[in-house]
């Protein structure tokens, strides 16, 4: 059995160095030797993981569906037999998107001249050429369909065999009802991780949740993950109905209502949020991931699975479900607006001026920075080899910064 690392206390560091408001304090994070470290907002997500690129229902039988991962166009197709596969979204001939083509049996036929590709990306038919003269095909991506999500492995395909698919919370447990949600959010994925892990922002949700105070019980860190435990106390106001649905109990202000423990974990590149009662019953289990869509990784598509444990009364959760949807949508909207504002601030400042005072968020930022993609080298052999980071085109070359 693995030893569980002990909880470390989260002591807020608001020392003058961190709290100073001068421009000098607004530099990006510094490493111990004071060398500049990578601007987290410019760290590409690592492609060697499984990412959901669509919900199952979006890829209909006999149809193609165009998506992107960090700017790379990918076509998903569901064949006549119901199998899903993923290819580069370009025809090897004139480079038009294959998602504009048609599914033909178990393959995709390009909409222009009808070149046809099987699930491995091999070109298996050019209507006006003999079979012995078939051209090269296109890249295929490892692809799996699990619990209503279509996962693609955009990185090194050999890694797909050794990298496990994530466990999707309690989605397949009959004792839970799951809400699937998500939409594009106009920010770098790191803002999303920070937002969910940082429960000190309850103030943002004061109109939805009343006055709640989060108290950190401490944090743990391991290889590829960081997590934090919180308890909550209601300082004033009524318990909102959405929260009551989750807990199935009434928690009044000022009462003994801080026994539930919320654990938020980033296990790169995924995130989970679990709430357990004092009896250790898992009453809420959220699994979520933020998939960059564009090359600069300033837009992410959120895929979330929110599982709520069914109460003892059959059907009660179904009745209350529209309220829960309404409540969670309101919360999500507030979070979306604030993280998009953070991204706009970063863009106008041209660097990450964040000065974080909460230790678990600094641990999280270090984890995301270390786990991200290495800088990409493009143009090798063409005489204009350069290291580009996906943000270079708009934001200049950070290597030139001191």
How many degrees, rounded to 5, is the angle at CA 219 between CA 217 and CA 223? 160
Binds 206: which of Fe ion, ligand FES, none (CB < 5-8 Å by kind): none
Structure tokens, 328: 């969670």
Q: Does residue 325 interact with ligand FES by CB under 6 A?
A: no
Site for ligand FES in 64-93 (CB under 6 A): 91, 93
The helix (H) or strand (E) run that includes residue 182 is none
Q: Which residue in 335, 342, 352, 363 binds Fe ion (CB under 5 A)?
A: 335
The 254-273 contact track toward Fe ion, x by CB under 5 A, reads: --------------------
DSSP codes, 54-115:
EEGGGS-BTEEEEEEETTEEEEEEE-TTS-EEEEESS-TTT---GGGSEEETTEEE-TTT--
Residue 113 interacts with ligand FES (CB under 6 A): yes or no:
yes
Q: In this structure, is the dihedral angle defined by the CA atoms of residues 154, 159, 160 and 163, taken in order, positive or negative?
A: negative
Q: Which is nearer to ligand FES, 93 or 177 (CB)?
A: 93
Which residue number, 128 or 348, has a Cβ lying nearer to ligand FES?
128
- The token pair that represents 20 in the structure block: 């100073």
Among the listed residues 60, 43, 101, 105, the one whose alpha carbon sits nearest the alpha carbon of residue 390: 43
Task: Give me the 205-244 binding string for Fe ion, x by CB under 5 A, dash otherwise.
Answer: ----------------------------------------
DSSP-derived letter for residue 167 is P
* 342 lines the binding site for Fe ion (CB under 5 A): no
Instruction: Count the residues of the shown chain that bind Fe ion, applying the rule CB under 5 A.
Output: 1
**What gap in Å lies between CA 99 and CA 108, rounded to an integer?**
9
Alpha-carbon span 382 to 388, nearest angstrom: 14
CB of 98 to ligand FES, least distance (A): 8
Which sign does the torsion angle of CA 40, 44, 46, 51 carry? positive
Nearer residue to ligand FES within complex by CB, 65 or 298: 65
Rounded to a whole number of angstroms, the minimum distance from the CB of residue 332 to Fe ion is 8
Residue labelled with tokens 């790379």: 72
The option from Fe ion, ligand FES, none interacting with 96 (CB < 5 to 8 A, set by class) reads: ligand FES
Nearer to ligand FES, 96 or 261 (CB): 96
Binding residue for ligand FES, selected from 50, 115, 141, 230, defined by CB under 6 A: 115
The residue among 153 and 191 lying less far from Fe ion, judged by its C-beta, is 191
Structure tokens at 308: 């709520």
How far is it, in rounded angstroms, from Cα 204 to Cα 187?
Answer: 18
Q: Which of 94, 252, 333, 344 binds ligand FES (CB under 6 A)?
A: 94
52 forms beta bridges with: 151
Residues that bind ligand FES (CB under 6 A): 91, 93-94, 96, 110, 112-115
Where on the chain is the footprint of Fe ion (CB under 5 A)?
Answer: 335
């Amino acid at each position: 059995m693995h030893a569980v690392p002990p909880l470390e206390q989260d002591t807020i560091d608001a020392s003058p160095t961190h709290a100073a408001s001068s421009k000098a304090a607004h530099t990006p994070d510094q490493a111990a030797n004071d060398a500049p470290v990578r601007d987290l907002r410019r760290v590409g997500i690592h492609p060697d993981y499984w990412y959901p690129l669509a919900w199952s229902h979006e890829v209909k039988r006999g149809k193609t569906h165009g998506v992107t991962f960090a700017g790379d166009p990918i076509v998903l197709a569901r064949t006549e037999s119901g199998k899903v596969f993923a290819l580069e979204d370009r025809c090897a001939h004139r480079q038009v998107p294959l998602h504009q083509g048609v599914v033909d049996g178990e393959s995709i036929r390009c909409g222009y001249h009808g070149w046809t590709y099987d699930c491995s990306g091999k070109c298996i038919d050019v209507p006006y050429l003999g079979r012995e003269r078939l051209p090269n095909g296109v890249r295929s991506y490892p692809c799996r369909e699990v619990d209503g999500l279509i996962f693609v492995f955009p990185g090194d395909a050999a890694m797909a065999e050794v990298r496990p698919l994530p466990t999707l919370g309690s989605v397949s447990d009959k004792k839970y009802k799951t809400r699937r949600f998500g939409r594009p959010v106009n920010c770098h994925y790191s803002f999303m991780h920070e937002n969910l892990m940082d429960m000190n922002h309850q103030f943002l949700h004061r109109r939805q949740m009343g006055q709640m105070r989060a108290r950190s019980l401490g944090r743990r860190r391991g290889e590829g993950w960081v997590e934090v435990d919180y308890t909550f106390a209601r300082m004033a106001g009524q318990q909102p109905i959405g929260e009551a649905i989750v807990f199935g109990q009434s928690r009044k202000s000022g009462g003994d209502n801080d026994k539930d423990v919320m654990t938020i974990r980033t296990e790169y590149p995924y995130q989970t949020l679990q709430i357990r009662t004092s009896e250790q019953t898992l009453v809420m289990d959220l699994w979520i991931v933020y998939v960059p869509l564009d090359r600069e990784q300033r837009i992410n598509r959120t895929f979330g699975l929110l599982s709520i444990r069914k109460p003892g009364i059959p059907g009660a959760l179904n009745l209350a479900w529209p309220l829960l949807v309404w409540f969670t949508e309101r919360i999500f909207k507030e979070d979306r607006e604030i993280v998009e504002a953070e991204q706009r601030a970063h863009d106008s400042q041209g660097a990450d001026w964040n000065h974080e005072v909460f230790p678990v968020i600094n641990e999280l930022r270090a984890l995301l920075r270390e786990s991200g993609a290495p800088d990409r080298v493009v143009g090798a052999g063409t005489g204009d080899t350069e290291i580009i980071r996906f943000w270079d085109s708009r934001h200049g070359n950070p290597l030139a910064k001191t």
